[in-house]
Amino acid sequence: MVTLNRIYTRTGDKGATRLATGEPVAKTDARVEAYGSVDETNACVGLARLHAGADGWLDAALGRIQNELFDLGADLATPDRGKDLGWAPLRILAGQVERLENEIDEMNADMAPLDSFVLPGGSALAAHLHLARTVSRRAEREAVRLAGTEGEAINAEALKYLNRLSDWFFVASRRANDNGAADVLWKPGATR
């Protein structure tokens, strides 16, 4: 259970913060950058949900993803240093990745194959889902950078989740554009 009865702590006034383990780090630490980008992704999903009301399934799926993004942030904020924390850290599981894959396949089943890249746009929902896609790609790059940092390791399922999530947002954006019929397609060199 999380209890937040005081919002500001002043502990970050000099550019430092603490990980979920209590370990102090700079706010520019690779781990903080990674879970910060996950938090930005979650905010983008919140904006997308403002436009998802007509598609109850998509709105519910986005709500679930928002919760999972908090789980992912907790996963990234809790490094495995091989020490007993006295509690079980929250980790992204393979089943969460598999669910994204299954939903991607289900959404994509009724769409015509693409013959061009898709520009962000069409409906407001699709545009917001594209924003979530690009921010989640940044979160993935930050997580990969963290995983490549000496002395750092992250849950492999967290990386897989981020990779699938951006694909999920892409296919969901096509769903929001009348299953791709209203996609805005790139026309190479069209403005020359």
Q: What CATH code is assigned to 24-108+116-183?
A: 1.20.1200.10
H helices of 27-122, where? 30-49, 56-76, 94-108
Q: Is 184 left (phi over 0), alpha (psi -120 to 50) or beta?
A: beta
Query: Between 10 and 53, where is the model more confident?
Result: 53
- If you average pLDDT over residues 79-93, what whole number do you get? 91
54: pLDDT strictly greater than 90: no
4: pLDDT strictly greater than 80: no
Retrieve residue 181's tokens. 């019929």
Each domain of the chain, given as residue ranges in start order, spans 24-108+116-183
* pLDDT number for residue 6: 67
159: pLDDT strictly greater than 70: yes
Residue 159 CB-density burial (10 A; 0-12 exposed, 13-18 middle, 19+ buried) = middle
pTM score of the predicted model: 0.93
45: pLDDT strictly greater than 80: yes
φ/ψ of residue 24, rounded to 5: -75, 140
* pLDDT number for residue 15: 85
Tell me the per-residue pLDDT of 111-135, one tens digit each, with 9 for 90 and over. 989 889 999 999 999 999 999 999 9
- Please tell me the distance from the alpha carbon of residue 145 to that of residue 31, in angstroms, as a whole number: 9
CA distances from 37 to 32, 142, 174, 181 (A): 8, 8, 24, 31
**Is the Cβ–Cβ distance between 116 and 190 less than 8 Å?**
no
Retrieve residue 43's tokens. 């905010």
Residue type, 84: D
Tell me the per-residue pLDDT of 88-99, one tens digit each, with 9 for 90 and over. 999 999 999 999
* pLDDT number for residue 2: 62
Q: What percent of the chain is modeled with pLDDT above 70?
A: 97
∠163-179-137 over CA atoms, to 5°?
Answer: 20
DSSP letter assigned to residue 169: H
What is the distance in angstroms between the CA of the first residue and the CA of the last residue of the chain?
58
The per-residue pLDDT of the chain, averaged, comes to: 93
* pLDDT number for residue 58: 97
Tell me the per-residue pLDDT of 20-35, one tens digit each, with 9 for 90 and over. 988 999 999 999 999 9
* pLDDT number for residue 61: 98
